[in-house]
Structure 1
Amino acid sequence: MSRRSLTLLVAGFLTLVLAVVGAVLPVPYVVLSPGPTENTIGDVKGKPVISISGRQTYPADGRLNLVTVAYQGGPGNRLDLITALRGWLDPTVAVVPEDSLFPRTSTAQQVEEENTQEMTDSQQFAIAAALSELKIPVQKTITVVSADKGAPADGRLKPGDEITAVDGSAVGEVDAVAAAVQRHTPGEQVRFTVKRGSATTDVTVGTDKGKDGKAVVGVRMRSAFRFPFPVNISVGDVGGPSAGLMFSLGIYDKLTPGSITGGKSVAGTGTVDPEGNVGPIGGIEQKMVGARNDGATVFLTPAENCADAVRSVPRGLRLVKVETLDGAIKALDALRTGSGDVPSCPAG
Structure 2
Amino acid sequence: MNRRILTLIVALVPVLVLGVVGSVVTVPFVALGPGPTFDTLGQVDDKQVVDVTGAPLDPTTGHLNMTTVSVRDELNLFEAFGFWVSGEHGLVPRAEVYPPEVSREEIDKSNQQEFKQSESNAEVAALNYLDMPTAVLVRGFGDDEGPADGVLETGDQLIRIDDTPINAPEDVIDLVAETPPGTTVTVDYRRGDAENSAPITLAAHPEDPAKGFLGIMLGEGGRPPLQVEFNLADIGGPSAGLMFSLALIDKLSPGELNGGRFVAGTGTIDETGKVGPIGGIQYKMMAAREVGAETFLVPADNCNEARQRAPEGLRLVRVETLDSAIASLADIDAGREPISCG
> What's the CA shift for 1:94?
1.8
Residue type at the aligned position of 1:11: A
Alignment partner, residue 203 of structure 1: 201
Q: Distance in 2 between matches of 1:41 and 1:155?
A: 37
Output one character per residue of 1:102-160: Cα deviation in whole Å (capped at 9) or x when no partner: 3435444444444443333322322222122111111134667438x8xxxx8546596
Gaps of 5+ in 1: none
CA contact (8 A) 1:64 1:261 kept: yes
Q: Distance in 2 between matches of 1:272 and 1:200?
A: 35
Aligned-CA RMSD value: 3.4
CA contact (8 A) 1:57 1:255 kept: yes
Residue 130 (1) aligns with residue 148 (2): no
CA contact (8 A) 2:67 2:266 kept: yes
Output one character per residue of 1:151-179: Cα deviation in whole Å (capped at 9) or x when no partner: xxx85465967776678544544555555
CA distance change for structure 1 residues 260 and 155 in 2, over 3 Å: closer, same or farther? Answer: closer
Alignment partner, residue 120 of structure 1: 116
Percent sequence identity over aligned pairs? 38
CA contact (8 A) 1:141 1:173 kept: no
The SS at the match of 1:31 is strand
Task: From 93, 96, 99, give the equivalent of 1:97.
Answer: 93
Q: Distance in 2 between matches of 1:69 and 1:327?
A: 25
Alignment partner, residue 67 of structure 2: 67
Residue 292 (1) aligns with residue 289 (2): yes
CA distance change for structure 1 residues 100 and 193 in 2, over 3 Å: closer, same or farther? Answer: farther
CA distance change for structure 1 residues 237 and 143 in 2, over 3 Å: closer, same or farther? Answer: closer
Residue 242 (1) aligns with residue 245 (2): no
Alignment partner, residue 28 of structure 1: 28
Aligned residues: 331
Alignment partner, residue 54 of structure 2: 54
Output one character per residue of 1:269-296: Cα deviation in whole Å (capped at 9) or x when no partner: 1122222121222211111100011111
Q: Distance in 2 between matches of 1:4 and 1:192?
A: 91
Q: Distance in 2 between matches of 1:17 and 1:69?
A: 34
Q: Distance in 2 between matches of 1:28 and 1:216?
A: 46
Q: Distance in 2 between matches of 1:53 and 1:144?
A: 19
Output one character per residue of 1:236-277: Cα deviation in whole Å (capped at 9) or x when no partner: 443332111111111111222222212221110112222212
Gaps of 5+ in 2: none
Comparing 224-233 with 80-89, greater Cα deviation is found at 224-233
Q: Distance in 1 between matches of 2:58 and 2:201?
A: 45
The SS at the match of 1:314 is coil
Output one character per residue of 1:286-324: Cα deviation in whole Å (capped at 9) or x when no partner: 111000111111100111211221221111111111111
Output one character per residue of 1:44-102: Cα deviation in whole Å (capped at 9) or x when no partner: 354432332332222222211111112211xxxx3323222222223211222223223
The SS at the match of 1:79 is coil
Alignment partner, residue 19 of structure 1: 19
Alignment partner, residue 256 of structure 1: 253
CA contact (8 A) 1:142 1:221 kept: yes
Q: What TM-score comes out, normalization by structure 1 length?
A: 0.80
CA distance change for structure 1 residues 118 and 207 in 2, over 3 Å: closer, same or farther? Answer: closer
